Amino acid sequence: MAAALRAAKRALRGELRQRLRALGPAEKQRQSRLLGLKVIGHPKYQESKRIAIFLSMPDEVQTEEIIKDIFKQGKECFIPRYKPQSNHMDMLKLSSAEDISSLALTSWNILQPGDDDSTREEALAGGGLDLIFMPGLGFDKKGNRLGRGKGYYDTYLERCMKHPSGKPYTIALAFREQICESVPVTENDVPIDEILYEDC
C-alpha cells in the first residue's frame, strides 16, 4: 500500500514538473499577478497580522508583490529556512522587502537566512502565525497538496498545532496547471484550508 502510494506520488510529481516546464515566463507572470490581486483582496489576508510566505522558485507562483504588500500594510512577514538532510523548517522574520537581497542562496537555489543568523524572530518562538501561504507541486480541489517530498510544511504545521495560538489558516498559491483531479495522500499529509488559482 505504502509503496503504491509512493509510486503514485512520484508519477504525479513527474507529470506536474513537465506541465510547469511547459509554462512560459509571460504566462507565469500573468497568473502570478492575478493571484497577487486575489490575495490582497482576500478577507483572511486582510485580517491577518503575522504571515508566513515562501520566496518563489522559478516554477512557483511569484510572491514578490505580495511580500511588498505585507510590508505596505504594516503586517509582519516570515519566510522559511529549511534545514537540509531533515524535514525541519523554521519561519524567520523579514525586516523589509529589501531585506530579501541580503539573504544567502542555498544549494537548492532558494534564498533563506543563514544558519548563523540568530537575530531574527522565529514565528513559533513568538506569537505564532495567523496565515501561511503554501507552495507545492500539485493540489486538488479537496485541499490535498503534493509537495516536493521532504515534508517540511506538514512537519511545521504539526508544530503550529502545539503552539498556544493554534494552527494558522493555510492558503496554497497555484498556477491552474497545478490543479489535479486528485492528489494521493497519507495520514501525515495536512490538508490546506484554501487553494487560490486563476479559475477559483
Query: Known binder of ligand: residue 10?
Result: yes
Judge whether 44 is annotated as a binding position: no
Distances from the Cα of 150 to the Cα of 94, 98, 158, 171, angstroms? 24, 29, 15, 19
148 annotated to a ligand binding site: yes
Q: Dihedral sign for Cα 146, 30, 112, 107, please.
A: positive
DSSP assignments along 25-77, one per residue: HHHHHHHHHHHHHHHHT-HHHHH-SEEE-PPPPTTS---HHHHHHHHHTT-EE
Amino acid at 21: R
21 is in an annotated binding site: no
- Tell whether residue 12 is among the known ligand binding residues: yes
145 known ligand binder: yes
β-pairing verdict for 111-112 and 145-146: unpaired
152 is in an annotated binding site: yes
Is 151 among the annotated ligand-binding positions?
Answer: yes
Q: Is 149 annotated as a binding residue?
A: yes
> Is 136 marked as a binding-site residue?
no
Distance (Å) of CA 15 to CA 30, 151, 166, 185, 191: 22, 20, 35, 17, 21
13 is in an annotated binding site: yes
Hey, what's the cell of 41?
A: 483582496
* Contact of 12 with 184, CB cutoff 8 Å: yes
Does the annotation place 153 within a ligand binding site?
yes
Q: Is 169 annotated as a binding residue?
A: no
147 annotated as belonging to a binding site for a ligand: yes
Binding site for ATP: what residues are annotated?
Answer: 9-13, 145-153
Binding site for substrate: what residues are annotated?
Answer: 55, 60
Binding site: what residues are annotated?
Answer: 9-13, 55, 60, 145-153
